Amino acid sequence: MAHVRVQQFHRNIPVLGGEAIAHLKATGEPFGQTDDLLPNVKVDTAPRLTADAAVGRARAEVGCRDCSLRSADLWIVRTEGTDHLAYRVELRESAAGPPLSIPIVFVDAHSGNLILRYDNLQTGK
């Protein structure tokens, strides 16, 4: 089988969790689809907060002022039926070796409030 995934965008901004996947048999014939597109996205796409301010807020939330910045990009995040324009701030906390954590913090680009946070450090043996 093969899978073709497309990311949902609203006014050139990616939508968190919004995606569609076409599932194909080995012959290339359609097998099915997964539709996780978010309907009726409604959000002001002009941020009031700067990316630098969002990074500062994320560092304060994580408690790591010396974490290195990996990225700070605009995303649309839907929580409890409300769409938010948010900065997805990816930080890297490390000592002199591999990362100890890779915090991802979504900061509302209008209010500066924390929307979502998780550690994206992935390990394997």
Strand-strand pairing, 68-79 and 82-94:
antiparallel
The predicted pLDDT at position 24 comes to 92
Span 99-112, pLDDT tens digits: 688 899 999 999 99
Burial 93-110 (b: 16+ CB within 10 A, else e): beeeeebeebbbbbbbbe
Sign of CA dihedral 79, 103, 51, 17: negative
Percent of the chain with pLDDT over 70: 94
pLDDT surpassing 70 at residue 96? no
The predicted pLDDT at position 80 comes to 94
Closest CA to 103 of 41, 38, 58: 58
Mean pLDDT of 55-79: 92
Ordered by start, the domain boundaries in the chain are 2-35, 51-119
Q: What is the second-level CATH architecture of the domain 51-119? A: Roll (3.10)
